[in-house]
């Protein structure tokens, strides 16, 4: 059954937003009486029926409702520098959402070539990815934040920085403990600069490596995300 | 130092091909006397110096030569249905090469919407990815093959089919044994059909799942590749 997203689900009857209405009526050509699934990205899944197939504001009535809670007590945050090529960052967002991530923080670093983001468009990629992969929880995508401001924030869990600079680094896989909150920092194309690495170490971040291959920013993000999922699988 | 690819490295002096010559001389604007690295994707890495900066056929002389052998005795083959959207398949090729893969076999399945591939262009993506990630071995990308023909071929190692159909499936991570050759089948957007799954089981393929999330074809490919790498890390 086709899945639609409504951020604020009410009870009884409600409207799909303009974009979802258009997709439902114009693209999928659903009719009055057709059934759909609606999720809110916060654990609810409603089975609903189309009442008024308006392609600007499709009205639906709820048939039944499931509410799910996140069953795990630990979460993954990846703080990652947006790539110069936006496609690569969007690909990271889609793939990490499919694989499973809780929070994505775009960080602006010394070597960042991209310092702004269209978070509206990026939010849609996350929604599309949870619909596609059958998930009920939408990852949080924060506004971009300057690296030095971000890493001074407190974090309840294990903190890692994945950099390519010289110096001792642990293998990421072997540094993870199942069931613990994790925060990983992933740098931009030119890597973190030495002052940024020094600052992270002072803040208690553990330097890690993903292996011998030199990974692109977005690949490192996916590898970090998938390693976390496997360790907790 | 900039890295260039030459499939057949000779000794003494040789030419970069037209594309690499153009990149070297027109894009990077390297001059006579500048040093470069040259790899052949089979374990050789040459340090070389530009003799004749011709943007059609750049002539270089070897300064020194390293030859590496693959140190591991096991390998990963992923047989995967090319996606309808070519970008997605290209992403898979780039990312699996960065992460580490030995052989990619495009398979044409019952539900495949794409039945042809421009392997020339795809080969360039692999070369670019090994240069980018500092690897010395180019994965093998075979010509597309019909699924039923492929899975009847013998394979010396453990064989898995990742499908989304009903029936018992093992968790992929827990089915892998470090140090063994692995072959994984990944289906197209509409999954394998039931006859294809039946045939694979008859041929000794073990059905596996990557977890609860429903992954896109290219994501499943990357997850399979990275799981293999982590188990062997």
pLDDT tens, position by position, A141-162:
999 999 999 999 999 999 999 9
CA atoms of B204 and B202, how far apart (whole Å): 5
The pLDDT tens digits for A71-91 are 788 999 999 999 999 999 999
* Best to test chain B binding among A37, A99, A172 (most B CBs inside 10 Å): A99
The pLDDT tens digits for B87-125 are 999 999 999 999 999 999 999 999 999 888 988 889 999
User: Residue range B166-187: average pLDDT?
Assistant: 95
C-alpha distances out from residue A97 to A87, A132, A135, B10, B136, Å: 15, 10, 9, 46, 32
Q: Do A219 and B171 touch (CB under 8 A)?
A: no
List Cβ neighbours of B225 (8 Å cut-off, separation of 6 or more). Answer: B76, B78, B95, B96, B99, B100, B101
pLDDT at position B69 over 90: no
Which helix or strand (DSSP H or E) is residue A77 part of? strand A76-80
Terminal alpha carbon distance of chain B: 28
pLDDT at A191: 95
CATH H-level superfamily of B3-67: Hypothetical PUA domain-like; domain 1 (2.40.240.20)
Q: Do B173 and A233 touch (CB under 8 A)?
A: yes
CA atoms of A155 and A159, how far apart (whole Å): 8
Q: Do B233 and A211 touch (CB under 8 A)?
A: yes
Residue A116: pLDDT band (50, 70, 90) is confident
From A126, A93, A121, select the one nearest A5 (Cα to Cα).
A126
Phi, psi of B61 (to 5 degrees): -115, 140
Q: Is B92 on the interface with A (CB under 8 A)?
A: no
Which chain A positions have a beta carbon within 8 Å of B215's beta carbon?
98-99, 133
pLDDT at position A10 over 80: no
Q: Do B226 and A229 touch (CB under 8 A)?
A: no
Q: Do A100 and B135 touch (CB under 8 A)?
A: no
CA atoms of B97 and B218, how far apart (whole Å): 13
The pLDDT tens digits for A22-42 are 999 999 999 999 999 999 999
From B60, B56, B58, select the one nearest B18 (Cα to Cα).
B56
pLDDT at B8: 84
b vs e for B181-216, b when ≥16 Cβ sit within 10 Å of the residue's Cβ? ebbbbbbbbebbbeebbebbeeeebbbbbbbebebb
Q: Report ipTM (2 d.p.).
A: 0.92
Q: Token digits for B50? A: 């530009």
Q: Token digits for A12? A: 């009884």
Residue contacts between A and B (CB atoms, under 8 Å): 64
Of B99, B211, B222, nearest to A233 by CB-CB distance is B211
List Cβ neighbours of B91 (8 Å cut-off, separation of 6 or more). Answer: A91, B218
CA atoms of A46 and A39, how far apart (whole Å): 6
The pLDDT tens digits for B180-210 are 999 999 999 999 999 999 999 999 999 999 9
Residue A192: pLDDT band (50, 70, 90) is very high
Q: Is B64 on the interface with A (CB under 8 A)?
A: no
Question: Start-end ranges of CATH 3.40.1280.10 in chain A?
Answer: 76-231
Q: Which residue has the tokens 């630990």?
A: A74
pLDDT at A165: 87
Local structure of residue A107 (DSSP, 8 states): E
Q: How far is A135 from chain B (nearest CA, A)?
A: 7
Number of H helices, E strands in chain B: 7, 13
From B127, B73, B138, B143, select the one nearest B100 (Cα to Cα).
B138
Q: Do B219 and A173 touch (CB under 8 A)?
A: no
User: Which CATH number fits the domain A76-231, given the four candidates 3.40.50.1970, 1.10.3720.10, 3.40.1280.10, 3.40.50.10420?
Assistant: 3.40.1280.10
CB atoms within 10 A of CB B122: 18
């Amino acid at each position: 059954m086709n899945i639609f997203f409504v951020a604020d689900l009410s009870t009884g009857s409600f409207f799909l937003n303009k974009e979802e209405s258009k997709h439902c009526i114009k693209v999928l050509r659903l009719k009055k009486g057709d059934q759909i699934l609606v999720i809110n990205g916060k654990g609810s899944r409603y089975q609903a029926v189309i009442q008024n197939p308006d392609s600007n504001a499709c009205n639906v009535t709820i048939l039944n409702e499931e509410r799910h809670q996140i069953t795990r007590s630990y979460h993954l945050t990846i703080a990652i520098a947006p790539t110069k090529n936006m496609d690569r960052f969007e690909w990271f967002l889609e793939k990490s959402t499919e694989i499973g991530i809780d929070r994505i923080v775009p960080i602006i670093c010394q070597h960042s070539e991209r310092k702004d983001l269209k978070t509206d468009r990026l939010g849609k990629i996350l929604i599309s990815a949870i619909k596609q992969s059958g998930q009920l929880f939408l990852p949080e995508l924060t506004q971009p934040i300057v690296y030095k401001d971000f890493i001074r924030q407190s974090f309840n869990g294990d903190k890692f920085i994945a950099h390519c600079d010289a110096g001792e680094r642990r293998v990421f896989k072997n540094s993870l403990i199942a069931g613990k909150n994790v925060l990983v920092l992933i740098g931009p194309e030119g890597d973190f600069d030495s002052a940024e690495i020094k600052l992270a170490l002072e803040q208690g971040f553990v330097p890690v490596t993903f292996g011998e291959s030199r990974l692109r920013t977005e690949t490192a993000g996916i590898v970090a995300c998938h390693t976390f999922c496997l360790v907790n699988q």
